[in-house]
Amino acid sequence: MRRLVTLVVFALVVALGARYYSDHNGASATSGLTPTTTTIAPHYPTAPLTGLADPSGVSQRRPALTIKIENTPEALPQWGVDQADVVYEEIVNGGITRLAAVFNSHAPPKVGPVRSVRPTDTQVVYPLGGLFAFSGGAPYALKSIAAAPVKLIDESTAGDAMYRDPRLLAPHNLFARAPLLFAQSGTPTPPPALFHYRPTHSASVGSVVSRVVVGFPSIYPVTWTWNGATHSFDRTLFGRPDLTGTGVRESPQNVIVMFVNYVNGVGTMASYANLQGTGTAAVFSGGRELRGTWARGPSPSDVITYSSYAGQPIELTPGQTWVELLNVGATLTVTP
> Which CATH number applies to 58-335?
3.50.90.10
Residue 38: per-residue pLDDT: 53
Residues 185 and 180: their CA atoms lie apart, in Å, by 9
CA–CA distance from 167 to each of 163, 170, 173, 291, 303 (Å)? 12, 10, 8, 45, 41
Domain ranges for the chain: 58-335
Distance from C-alpha of 195 to C-alpha of 85, rounded to nearest angstrom: 12
Residue 321: the pLDDT is 98
Per-block average pLDDT, block size 10, for the chain (336 residues)? 35 36 38 52 85 95 97 97 98 96 98 97 97 96 96 97 97 98 92 94 89 98 98 98 97 98 94 96 98 95 97 97 98 98
For residue 25, what pLDDT is reported? 38
> CB–CB of 214/224 below 8 Å?
yes
pLDDT attached to residue 327: 97
Predicted confidence at residue 39, as pLDDT, reads 55
